[in-house]
Amino acid sequence: MTNELLTLSAAELARRIQARAVRVREVIDAHIAQIEAVNPAINAVITADFETARQAAASADEHIDQHGSDDLPPLFGVPITIKDCWPVRGLRFTAGTWHMRDQIADDDAPVVRKLREAGAIILGKTNCPDLSWMFETTNPIFGRTNNPRALDRSVGGSSGGEAA
């Protein structure tokens, strides 16, 4: 991880976007590149929605170019992932349980809706234990999420995909 954008808090990313110190597409691309680099080893992101995220970033940059950045919502352009226990419209929603493995969410959970309203850009969904009931992030659909600092260890649970 050498890109400074990967080390900044959500608040700092939002501040830099609003100050036009960085473009949203640059932020999104940096986070997608990091996921693509490390996810094969850690298995944290189980459903990627990178194309939609890139489209949202382009729209966000266009909005700033046309309307300025004075009245942006608090998380405008900030990338996030969503634990698979929450439905995200149009994405697979399994809650880590086998009988839901093919389910696609028809709508966003209220928390996801609020994040979108705040301007966050969803990159994808992250792994969780079966129904989020275990102390380790593993399930029969996607398997275990590994600790990025020690691949032979678990990240714990139940938000292990988010933690990794």
CB 89 within 8 A of CB 107: yes
User: In angstroms, rounded to a whole number, what is the distance separating the alpha carbons of residues 59 and 153?
Assistant: 39
pLDDT value at residue 135: 85
Given a contact cutoff of 8 angstroms between Cβ atoms, the answer to whether 35 and 99 are in contact is: no
Domain assignment present for 2:
no
In this structure, is residue 157 part of a structural domain? yes
Which tokens in the block code for residue 94?
Answer: 């399994």
Q: Is 3 inside any structural domain?
A: no
- pLDDT tens across 41-53, in order? 999 999 999 999 9
CATH number of the domain at 72, please.
3.90.1300.10
When divided into structural domains, the chain yields a total of: 1
In a domain, 138, yes or no: yes
pLDDT in tens, 54-70: 999 999 999 999 999 99
Write down the pLDDT at residue 59.
98
User: DSSP code of 102?
Assistant: T
Quote the domain boundaries for residue 112: 8-163
pLDDT for position 87: 98
Q: Which two tokens mark 38?
A: 């490390």
Tokens matching residue 131: 């129904």
Q: Is 30 left (phi over 0), alpha (psi -120 to 50) or beta?
A: alpha
Proportion of the chain above pLDDT 90, given as a percent: 88
DSSP one-letter string for 112-163: HHHHHHTT-EEEEEE---GGG-SSS---TTT-PPEETTEEEEE--SSSHHHH
Please list the pLDDT of the chain residue by residue as tens digits (164 residues): 569 999 999 999 999 999 999 999 999 999 999 999 999 999 999 999 999 999 999 999 999 999 999 999 999 999 999 999 999 999 999 999 999 999 999 999 999 999 999 999 999 999 999 988 888 899 999 999 999 999 999 898 888 888 88
Confidence at residue 35, expressed as pLDDT on a 0 to 100 scale: 98
Q: Is there a domain that residue 28 lies in? A: yes
Task: Assess contact for 140 and 98: CB atoms under 8 A.
Answer: yes
Evaluate if pTM is beyond 0.75. Answer: yes
- Per-residue pLDDT, 2: 67
d(CA 96, CA 85): 8
